[in-house]
Structure 1
Amino acid sequence: MKPELEDWILSETGKSLDETPPKRVSFWKVVEGLWPLNEIFRPQFEAIRSIKYRARSEKAADDAILAFIQSGPDAWNDIPHGAWRVLLERQSQMIGTAIANEAAGEMTVIPASLRDDQLTPFVMLFWLLRMRLPFPAENRSGFELPSSMPDLPLRQH
């Protein structure tokens, strides 16, 4: 497990990850956690989508995630352009992967005590920090950020 995630869980809940019971949720919860990042990407989007993905920016993206966890979205005001591009690619690929897992009926787990306002930082630490892309980075020059959540069928879990 990532030590940053374990430290964050302990600081947020007062319990270690081992002491925090897991709760099974659909992968739609991962999408819900990642979706708010679209509003952070939106003001920078024209510049971000013109940048080529470079692996050398992955460390800066990880540093940006950790800064976000500590200080919130304002921590991204001065991150390098390459980090923005890596973050967008990770977020986009993870949303696609989560939607595919959701369609397949797969489940994941989150700490049972996680509050709604903690979902985005948790998902960023669990899924995006040091993420290995499941697919090759795409040319995002024609990519558009959706303005609303996908209209998927409601399903009881």
Structure 2
Amino acid sequence: MDQELLFAYFTNHCGNDWQASVPVALSAWEIVEALWPLNEHFRPNYQAFRALPYHSAYEAQADEVLTRFAFEGIWGLVSVETWRVILERQQQAIVALPLHEVSGGAPRVYVPPMLPQSALTGAAILAVLHGMKLPLPVADRADFEPAPEPKGR
């Protein structure tokens, strides 16, 4: 996580007042909910990248793409190798964060209380996926299917 980048994101969405606020912790489930919509962004191309091996050489490109998406809401041109890195990070975060919380781990993401709900995905991307060191071994994602939006939302 690049704290300076995350703070710039907070300023974009909350103005400078966020700096005087007491941050609130997001639960693991709130972070998972914020990262879940990325599944829809994987859908158009996932068949091209899900079976690719993970290559750490594309991690810096993944960080650039994630930053652009968080701040501008657009992906731009993304190589299949970079998509694969983003997929692995998202999937591992969805598994690891709840396990961390259930085992008594401290919250990992804090946001200003006035951060709009619509900005939570970008905050989660920058706080969790950007610069993420994979907590688990890389998985074979050849059978990956983007999950639909959870019912009841």
Instruction: Assess same fold via TM > 0.5.
Output: yes
Task: Give 1:142's aligned residue.
Answer: 143
Contact 1:9 1:16 in 2 (8 A): no
Aligned residues: 149
Flag the 1:14–1:31 CA change in 2: closer, same or farther, 3 A: same
Q: Letter of the 1:94 partner, please give it.
A: A
Q: Which runs of 4+ in 1 moved over 6 A?
A: none
Deviation per residue, 1:68-121 (Å, 9 max, x gap): 12321xx32411111100000000000101222344465623321111101000
Which secondary structure does the structure 1 equivalent of 2:44 belong to? helix
Flag the 1:9–1:148 CA change in 2: closer, same or farther, 3 A: closer
TM-score (norm 2): 0.86
Q: Letter of the 2:78 partner, please give it.
A: I
> How many Å separate the matches in 1 of 2:55 and 2:30?
29
Task: Give 1:85's aligned residue.
Answer: 84
Deviation per residue, 1:19-38 (Å, 9 max, x gap): 23211332111011100100
Deviation at 1:148, TM superposition (A): 3.8
Task: Give 2:130's aligned residue.
Answer: 129
Matches within 5 A, 1:4-153: 4-15=5-16, 18-72=19-73, 75-104=74-103, 108=107, 109-149=110-150
Task: Give 1:155's aligned residue.
Answer: none
Q: Letter of the 1:49 partner, please give it.
A: R
Q: Letter of the 2:142 partner, please give it.
A: S
> How many Å separate the matches in 2 of 1:13 and 1:5?
12
Flag the 1:87–1:150 CA change in 2: closer, same or farther, 3 A: farther
Compare relative contact order (CA 8 Å, sep 6+) and give the higher one, 1 or 2.
Answer: 2
What is the Cα-based RMSD across aligned positions, in Å? 2.2
> How many Å separate the matches in 1 of 2:106 and 2:34?
15
Gaps of 5+ in 2: none
Task: Give 2:4's aligned residue.
Answer: 3
Gaps of 5+ in 1: 152-157
> How many Å separate the matches in 1 of 2:146 and 2:59?
21
TM-score (norm 1): 0.84
Which secondary structure does the structure 2 equivalent of 1:58 belong to? helix
Decide which moves more: 14-23 or 26-35.
14-23
Decide which moves more: 52-61 or 6-15.
6-15
> How many Å separate the matches in 1 of 2:123 and 2:134?
19
